[in-house]
A and B are shown apart, each in its own frame.
Chain A
Amino acid sequence: MSSIIHLIQTFNLNKLCFLSFSFCLFVFFNSPSLKGEEKKVEVPSPKEIMKKTFNRNEGKSSYVSNILLSCQFEIVKKNNKSKKKCSSPPRIKEFKSIAIEIQKDSIDAKSLSLIKKPASEKGLGFMQVDYIEEGKSSDQWMFLPALKKTKRVVGDEDGPKTGSFFGSEISYEDIEKHHENDFTYKLIKEEKIKETPTWVIEMTPTGKKAKTRSYGKSTSWISKRSYIVLKTEHYDKRGFLLKTFKQSNVEKINGIWIAKRMIVINHQKSRMSMLKLKSVLINPQFSEDLISLRALKDETFLESELQKIHGK
C-alpha cells in the first residue's frame, strides 16, 4: 500500500487525468480506507477530512476499459417520481486506458488511451507524459489514424480548463488535482446516505484557486468509513447549482474501493453524462515502453497488447 500512497502523493493528477480519465475519477472519488476508521475517534477537522480525501492513493499502474455516454436530458414524471431521461440517443465513446508511474529521468508518469467507438474515431489515440518538475506542463500526443499523423497537442496553458472530455459534462477542471490549502472548509452537517455515515463539507476556493475555478462553492458528501466522495454539488459564482457528481456500483478491487459508475448532471445546460468502468485492473504488469509514440501509431499492436494486459 505504501507504494500506492507514494504514487498518489507524487502524481500530478491533473496531467494524468487527461489521458487516463477514468483512473482519475476513481482516484478522486475513492479514497483509501484508513487505519482505525471504524473506531470511534475524535471528529477530524473538515480540512483534515478533505486532506485525506485529496491525498488518495491507487496502484502503481492501471488498466481501465470505459464507456462514456452523454446526452441532453428531460425530466419525465412517473408515479410521482421524476426521472432524468435522455431526450435523444446519447453520444457514446468507448475507450481503453493504461497508466504507469515512472519516477525517473524527470518523467513522473505516462498514460495512453485508445478510442474504440465511434467507428469514425476508432484507433484515435492519446498519449501523455507528466513530469516530476513542479509546474512543468505535461506533453500530449494524439494519433489520427485517418490522416496517419501523430501530433503533439499544445493547448492554452493560462486559460481556464473548461474544455470537456469527449464532449461529456466533465471538464478538465473537475478532475484537477487539489491541495488542501486551495479551499476553506465548513462542516455543514453529518448525515447518512444509504446507511453510510457521511460528513457534508462545503468547500470555498481561496487565493489563486478562487480566480481560476469556475465554481464559487462546492459541497461534498464524504463517507466516514472510506473517505469516498459519494456526491458533490458544484455551484457557480452566483451561487446556483451547476453540476452534480454522483457515483455508485462501488467494488473493492485489489483492496481499493472503486466506483464503477458515475453520473454527472449539468443542471444549467440540462445535460448529463455517465461513465461506466467496464473493467478495471490495478497494478497490472506491462512494460513502460508500451506507452510510446511508436505504439500509439500502431493500433493493431496496441490493441493486442491491451488485450494481453486485460487477459492476464
Chain B
Amino acid sequence: MVQKLTQVLLKVFSFATNNRVKTLLAMFAATALLGFSIPKIKIDQSMDSWLESGDQTIQVFRLFRYLYGSDESLILMYKNPKGNIFNPDTFQKVQALEKILNEKRMDPKSPLKRIKRVRSILSADYLESKNDSLINRPFVEKIPSSKEEWKKLTKKALEEEDMKGTFFSDDFQYGALLIETDYGARVKASTLEKSSQSSEGKGPKDLESETDEDFSFEESPDSNSEMARGKIIDLDKVPELESPQMEEYVVFIDELKKVLEENNFYHFIDKDSLKEKSKNDLQNIVSYHMAGNPWLMGFFAKIILKEFGLIFILSMILILGSLFYAFRSFSGMLWPSVVVIVSLIWTMGFIGLSGITQTMMINILAFMVLAVGVADSIHLLSGVRYYLRQNYSHEEALLLSYKKCASSIALTTVTTMAGLGSLTFSPVVPIKVFALFTALGIFFAFLMTIILLPIFLTYFPLKVKEHEKKKSHLDPIITKMNLWSKTKRKTVIIPFLLVAVTLSFGIPKVFIDTNMINMVKPGYGFIESYKTIDKYFGGTASIEILLDTGKIDGVKDPQFLKSLDKLGETIQGNWPDLVSRVYSLSKLTKKSYKTLTENDKNYIIPGEKNILDQTLFSFETADPNTRKLVVDDDWQMARLTVSLVTKGSKEYNPFNDQIKLTAEKVFKEYKKGNPNLKVHSTGMVPLMYKMTENISISQIQSFGIIVGVISILFLFLFKSFTLGLLALIPNLFPILVILGLTGHFGIPLDSDTLLVVPIAIGLAVDDTIHFLMHYQTLREEGADVGTALDKSCREVGHALIYTSFVLSLGFLAFTLSASKPFTYFGILSSLSIFTALLADLFLLPTIIYWLEKRKLPVAQGGLS
C-alpha cells in the first residue's frame, strides 16, 4: 500500500517539476482568488455560537432575555481618594457622569445608545410614602449641604435593604455605578421589518386586505373569569435575538472610557494618561475598576485577539530563526514559510467562502496549520539535506528524499486528519467547525509540501557547505542516542518509567475549571477588578431562576409570592459563601406593601388576594420599569436573580444543579394546586461555565476517540498488533506529561488549555510514523535491526529534532499572551512536543531493541 502511495506521489512530483511554470501560475491564481475570500470570514464569540440552535439551554436563556431584557451589565466601582464617597464632591461627579451617560444613551449616533439604564446611589429607585403620597423618586433628590443632612442620608442608605453592597461598600470607600445594556436582547434584525421595505413596499393593498377580522382576541367566558389557561411558552417560538459582534463591544467600551475620562474618571491601571496631569488635576481624579460582560468582551477583543497577531508574527520569527539555524540556508528558511503562508491563505479563503461562522478557535487553527506545514516541509528538506551530505546531486537528493518522505507525510496527514475527524462528532459546534477546517488546512499544508516545495527547490536549491557534509552538529547526539538505546536500555527506560510513575500521581489531581479570575494574567487590571468588586460588591455574575406559573396573572397569588420569597431566603441561607444577594418581585412586593401602609411591620407579602393585587397595581403604576425586570407583561412568569461571587465552574456547576432542586422543594406545596408550574434556571456566566465544562468533557471524550482511531490506523498500517501498541507508547507519553504536570501544579484544564492535547497527539504521532516508516523501509531492504535503527535515527532523527525544536519555540510565543489559558497552552504544547521527541528518539528504539532480544516479530521485520 505504501509503495503504491509512493508511486502516485512520485507521479505528482514529476508532473509538478516538469510543468513548473504552469503549476506555479495555477497555484498563484488559486491563492489569489482564495485570498479575496478571507475578508468574508465571520467571527462570533457569543454563547449562541457554542451550541446547536435547537439546544434547550440556549432557548431558555433566549426566552429570559426576550422577556426581561439583557443581563449584560457593567459595574463601575469608583473610589474617592479622600475617603468616604458620601461627600459633595464625589456625589457631584457621579451626578455629572450619570447625566452625560443618560444623554449619550438617548443619542442614536452614540455607541453608548446600547445603555438601557444607569443607576448609582443617587439615582437608585426609591419608593416612598410621604404625606399620603406614593413617590417613586431617585434616592438622592438633592445633594446634602449640611453635616446633619449627610448624617441623615447615610442612615437612610444603611436602612434601605440591598442599598449597601449594591451602590456603596460597607466602609463607604467605594461606590458603584451600574450600567445596564441591551446586548444580546434585541430581536434579530432579519426577523423584523426594515422601515424602507415597509413604508414604500407596503401599499394600500395591505391596508385594505388586513381587516379587523384578522385580529382575534378570543373572548370566551372562561377567559374572562378565572384566566385558567396561561400562555404556553413555546421555546421554539421565541424570536432569535441579535448576537453582538466583538467589535461592537470595543467601540462601546472605547467610547465609555472616553466619556469617563472627560469626566475625570480614570481606570485604576491607566497610569500613563495621568502622567500629563497637574497636581491640581490629579486631586480631581476618581479612579475606578470595571467588570461585566461588555467590558470582558471589549478586553478580549482588544487585548487578547489583537495579541494573536503579534504572537503569530513572533512565532514566525522564532520559527524562521530556528529554520535558518537548522538548515543554514536561505532556501531552508524561506520555502517552509511560503508553504505555510499559502496553506493558510487557502484555508482561510475556504473558511470565508463557506460562510460558516468561526470562533476565537480560528487562531488555534492557524497555529495548527503553521505547525503541520512547517513539520511537513522540514521532513522533506531534512531528507534533501541528508542526501546532499551523501554527495548526491540536488536533483537526486530531492527525488530520494521525496521518495522516502512523501508517503510518510501523506500518512501523517491522514492520521492527523482522522484524529481531527473524530472531533467532528463533538456536540459543540465551534469544535466541529474547528476540526473540519483544521483538517482541511492540514491537507492543504500537505498539498503545498508535495507540490510547491519541490518546485521551489528546483529554482532555489538547498545548499550544504562542504564542512557540513562531513559532520553535522546533530550527528554526535544521534550517535550517542543510538548507542544508549542499544547498550544502556535500563538507563533509558528507568528515567522514563520514573517520570511516568511520578506524573501519573498527578493525574487524579487534574481538574476541569473555567474561572473568570483565571482567564487573564495579573497586571492588566482584570483580576484586580474582579477581586475588588467581589470583595466590596459581591461579584458580577448571576443565576436567573424563571418560574412559569402556567397561567395569566399567576404571579399575583399570595402563596406563589410567599414561596418565591422563601426560595430566595433558602438559597441565600444555604450558600452564604457563593450567593451575595437575591432579588425578585417578592422583595419589591414587601417593600411596596410596607410603603403603602406606612407600617414597618408590614414588610410581608399580603395574604389577601385583592390587597396583594392592588399593592402590585400601585407598584406597577409607580415604577413600571422595575416591574418589567421582575415579571413579564402577563404576570405569568417571575424572575429570581441570584447574584454570585466570582468563582469557577467547579463551584458554580454543582450549585446550578442544586438550585433547581431547591426550587422544586420550596414550591412543592404550591405545585399541589398549580401543577403547571415550571422552573428554569439560566444566566450568562453559569451557562458559559456549564458549556465550557461540557466542551472540556467532550474534548476529553474526543481524545479517547482520537487515540482509538490512531491505534486502529497503526494496526492497519503496520499490520502488527505488537507494533501498533508499540507505536502508541511514545504518543501516550506526552499526554501523560501534560496531565501529570497540570495535576501536580494545579493548573485548571479548560476548553482552551485542552486544545493542547490534539496538537500533542497529532505531532507526536507524526514523529512516530516518520520514524517507523523509515525503519520499515530499511528492514524491507534487508538491513538488520541495528543498522535499520541507526540509519532511521540518522535520516529521520535530524528532521524530528528540527521540527520539535522549531515548533516548541514557536508555541512558546503563546506564553506572552495576557490570557492565562493560552499561556498554559503554549507551555504545555512546547513541553509535549519536546517530550514526544524524547520518547520517539529514546524510548522507541530502546523498545525495538528489547523486542529484538526477545525475538518478537516486530524486530524481525514484522512491519511489512
Contact = CB atoms under 8 A, between A and B. Distances in A.
A240 B214 contact: no
Interface string A86-101: 1111111000000000
B781 interface: no
A211 B203 contact: no
Contact of A69 (B187, B217, B227): B217
Contacts of B620: 167
A193 B207 contact: yes
Given A72-B634, A91-B552, A200-B199, A216 B215 contact: no
Interface in B331-373: none
Contact of B216 (A81, A84, A156): A84
Given A121-B613, A153-B621, A89 B596 contact: no
Contacts of A308: none
Interface in A247-292: 248-249, 261, 263, 267-272, 274
Interface stretch (A25-33, A104-112, A143-151, A175-183): A143-151
Nearest to A120: B613
Given A154-B136, A231-B207, A146 B608 contact: yes
B617 A124 contact: yes
A100 to B, nearest CB: 22
A233 B193 CA distance: 11
Contacts of B198: 219, 233, 241
Interface stretch (A9-17, A42-50, A158-166): A158-166
A312 interface: no
B402 to A, nearest CB: 59
B237 interface: yes
Contacts of A81: 209, 214
Given A72-B231, A91-B552, A241-B198, A248 B212 contact: yes
A156 B223 contact: no
Given A151-B596, A164-B624, A156 B136 contact: yes
Contacts of B107: 211
Contact of B192 (A82, A151, A241, A263): A241
Listed residue (B106, B195, B203, B204) with the most chain A CB atoms within 10 angstroms of its CB: B195
B553 A90 contact: no
Interface in B609-665: 609-611, 613-615, 617-618, 620-625, 633-635
Nearest to B633: A167
A261 B622 CA distance: 28
A152 B132 contact: yes
A65 interface: no
Contacts of B232: 87-88
B134 A142 contact: yes
A233 B614 contact: no
Given A89-B223, A124-B614, A237 B113 contact: yes
Interface string B187-214: 1010011111011100110011110111
B811 to A, nearest CB: 44
A231 B202 CA distance: 13
B135 interface: yes
A210 B113 CA distance: 13
B611 A146 contact: yes
Interface string B598-609: 000000000011
Contacts of A193: 204, 207-208
B634 A91 contact: yes
Counting chain A residues whose Cβ lies within 8 A of the other chain, the interface size class is 35 or more
B239 interface: yes
A97 to B, nearest CB: 16
A291 B634 CA distance: 31
Interface in A166-196: 167, 188-189, 191-194
Given A85-B216, A152-B132, A147 B596 contact: yes
B218 interface: yes
Contacts of B187: 240, 268
B625 A163 contact: yes
A191 B204 contact: yes
A147 B614 contact: yes
Nearest to B225: A119
Given A146-B610, A193-B204, A219 B215 contact: no
A221 interface: yes
A188 B200 contact: yes
Contacts of A92: 219, 223-224
Nearest to A210: B108
B220 interface: yes
Contacts of B113: 237
A246 B614 CA distance: 31
A202 interface: yes
B194 A239 contact: yes
Contacts of A71: 217, 231, 634
Given A88-B232, A147-B611, A162-B625, A152 B193 contact: no
Contact of B215 (A142, A212, A221, A274): A274
Contacts of A272: 215, 217
Contact of B108 (A219, A237, A261, A267): A237
A154 B217 CA distance: 34
Interface in B479-495: none
A20 interface: no
A74 interface: yes
Contacts of A202: 199
Contact of A149 (B214, B239, B596, B635): B596
Q: Which of A124, A147, A188, A219 gathers the greatest number of chain B CB atoms within 10 Å? A: A147
15 contacts: A72-B231, A89-B227, A90-B219, A120-B613, A142-B621, A151-B133, A151-B618, A153-B134, A153-B135, A162-B624, A164-B624, A194-B208, A240-B187, A241-B194, A249-B212
Given A69-B217, A71-B217, A72-B231, 9 more contacts: A82-B214, A86-B216, A117-B224, A144-B618, A147-B615, A154-B135, A156-B625, A211-B103, A221-B207
Interface of A: 69-74, 81-92, 117-118, 120-121, 124, 142, 144-147, 149-156, 159-160, 162-164, 167, 188-189, 191-194, 200, 202, 210-212, 216-217, 219, 221, 230-231, 233, 235, 237-241, 246, 248-249, 261, 263, 267-272, 274
Interface of B: 103, 106-108, 113, 125, 129, 132-138, 186-187, 189, 192-196, 198-200, 203-204, 207-210, 212-220, 222-224, 227, 229-232, 237, 239, 552-553, 556, 596-597, 608-611, 613-615, 617-618, 620-625, 633-635
